[in-house]
Every structure is written in structure tokens, then in C-alpha cells.
Amino acid sequence: MTDHEPNSELSKLAVDLTRSSNVYSDALASIAKQTASMDAISKAVTAQFAIERNLLRSTDAMLKQMRVFDTISPSIQSIVSANTSFTRMAERLASIEAVQSVAFRKIFDDHARIPKAIQGIGLSDSITAAFSRIDTTRMLAASLAAQTKLANFDNLTFGRLAGLDAEFSRAISTNLGNLTRSYQSLINVAATRESLAPHLPLITTYAPLEYYREIDVVESITVDDEVDEFNDDQQIETAIAESVPSVDGLLAAFDERLVALLHGARQSLRDDNPDRARHVTTSVRELFTQVLHALAPDDDIRVWTSNDEHFHDNRPTRRARLLFICRHIDCDPLSRFVQDDVRAALSFVDSLNSGTHVVESKLSFVQLASIVSRMESLLVFLLQIRNH
């Protein structure tokens, strides 16, 4: 079997996992609308459990097979390792009866997205577990999809479709490599450290999404549509949309004044303006800055730390602000992932905003839309860490 064939099979498994999560969400909708009997719902969910366990076993076997290839790059090795840990977490979740670990039990006990509609109406453990697994299944699918996209970058120059120079291309490669390793470390730790139990829903939902969004942006400026043979983006995007809250709602709840900046970024995207790329990147950069400073105000950081390394010219550094946002979560790999995530996103946006390193300044609508989605996702991540 060639390196290419497992990548194709993995893409199919990712899509099948999104379909599995749809069975669970459809069952939830049936309960809420009372359109099916509890017995029928229970049978459907139980049958899906068996299907999903088979999918997860196939995924684990496929990833194990890919790890023996000598030709895969270090980044692919890292994401394969992360997805192996993620898959095994999901496998443990796939049998609620067999779960004894406090960390994995906690997902079922405290999962933030179990709807109120199912509370207090005597649902079976299997149905409740299914609802709790919706996000985990969907985000594993997104993480697997990110791996198949990353494999398409092999032997391609990063940013070649956007006219980026060699220095910018190397910067993208470095940032993506750092983020991939941070993602691997975070998922591997989440799979083994029981002290992270209260934070698992946050980690397993938003870290995979952030990694997927970064890969998506790099893909949009690197890979021709016809090269991406495993493009199942629409099904993955639909699954993601059903798993995470909208940035609009989170921003409105946090500070309504910031919503106008978000709308401004989206309007810049729609404008048919020759300078559209700069307007879009300026808007999303300003929005990020406003949110970051609101989440981590100068005075609050001075109360929290007096470490000289956290300040530059008597102002908190960006790293200090991010550490402050993550201060309630005792997980160094999460803090590192957040820092690498922000660095990757902002390095790209700032270079495009300044016009440096760009040979051809006109980015397509699809490429700019991918950048906006990337920054919106990053804001959701930071806001959810704060809310968590």
C-alpha cells in the first residue's frame, strides 16, 4: 500500500465520523420535538455505538499503519501521533460502561453541551453518553481532516498561490511546525493526565478546531483545488458549525461594542475593492487586539505578575496577556498551544497587513474568507478559555 492510499481512507473515515455524530444530534432533536419514541431512539443510538466503535478501530489501525512509513515528514509524524491519542480517547468514550477513569467520566458528567432538554427526563446512560460524545466525534473528524490536508502540502511551496516571497514561506512553515508539535503535546497530555478532567471538553473541542483552521488557511494559499482530492470540507464545516457557539454571540455577551468591528471585517471581505486584502487584515487585526486587551487588561496583569519578562516598555507583552487568560488552567501544554496558535495566526495577518513579503497583493475571496474564519475561530477559543 502506498503512502497515498491511507490518506484517502483516513479522509473517508473522517467523513463517516461526522455522519456518526449526526445520528446523535438527530436523536437529540427527536427527543426535543417528541417525534420518536424513546425505545426507537435508544435502538438507533445503540446501533450507532457499534458502528462508531468499528470506525474508531479502523482509524486507529490506519494511523498505526501510517506511523511506519519512513517517507512522512516530521509534521505529519506529529499530527499522526496527536490523532492516535485523540482516537484512543474517543475509543474509551465509545463504551460508557467500560469507562472507569475519572478524567473520561468527567466528560460525561460535566460536558457543557448536553442540552437542558435532556435533563431530568430519565434518559438511559447510553443516550446521555451519545449526546456527550457529539463534539468529541466531530472534532476528531476535523483533526483527521487536517491531517489529510497537511499531507497535500508535501513538495509544495507554502503560499505559492498568493505570491509570497521565500522569507514569508519559511515563516509559515516554521509557525505551522511549531503549532503542530504543540497540538501533538496537548492532545497527548489530555489523553493521559486525569487532573485535566475539568478542562477536557474545552481542549478536545477547540484545540482541534484551531489546528484545522490554520491548516485551512495555509491550504487556501498553497494547494490548487484540483490537487485536493480528499476535499470533504462542507461536511466538516457543517459539523464544526453545529459544535461551537458563534463568535457573534460570544462577542455580544462579552462586549457589544466589539461586534461592530467584527461586522466591519466581514464588510471589508464583501467589498469589491482593489485594496480589499489590506482592509480585511487591518479589520481582523484590530478586532483581535481589542479582544485580547479586554480579556487581559494592563492593570489586572500588574496585579497578577511583577515578572520583568512579562513586560516591555512597562506594558504587558502579548505572551503575558495569553498566560493571564490561561492562568486558571494548570496545563503548560495548553498555554504553549495558545501562544503558538496566536503566533501563527498573527504572523500571517500582520505580514499581509503591512504588505511585506507579498509579491502579488491581491488575494482571492476564498483566501480572504479563510483568513477571516481563522481569526473568528481564534477569538472564540480565547473567549471560551475565559468563560471556562
* 12 and 110 both lie in a single domain: yes
- pTM (2 d.p.): 0.87
Same domain, 372 and 284: yes
Count: domains in the chain:
2
Q: Quick one: pLDDT band at residue 93, thresholds 50, 70, 90?
A: confident
Q: Cα 138 vs. chain centroid, distance in angstroms? A: 10
Q: Do residues 190 and 52 share a domain?
A: yes
302 and 209 share one domain: no
- In this prediction, residue 356 carries a pLDDT of 60
Q: Which of 207, 241, 275 is a domain's end point? A: 241
Across the chain, mean pLDDT equals: 83
Q: Which of 45-54, 91-100, 168-177 has the highest mean pLDDT?
A: 168-177
Query: Whole-angstrom Cα distance, residue 280 to residue 278?
Result: 5
Residues 185 and 255 in one domain: no
In sequence order, which residues have a C-beta less than 8 Å from that of residue 90 and are 6 or more positions away? 56, 133, 136, 137, 140
What is the mean pLDDT of the segment spanning 199-220?
92
pLDDT value of residue 241: 86
Predicted confidence (pLDDT) per residue in 285-332, tens digit: 999 999 999 999 999 999 999 999 999 999 999 999 999 999 998 899
Q: Percent of the chain scored above 90 by pLDDT?
A: 45
Contact, 329 vs 385, CB < 8 A?
yes
Domain shared by 287 and 368, yes or no: yes
Residues 227 and 325 in one domain: no
Q: pLDDT per residue over 38-60, tens digit each?
A: 777 777 777 787 888 899 999 99
Residues 41, 178 share a domain: yes
Same domain, 235 and 269: no
Q: Which domain does 321 fall in, by range?
A: 247-387
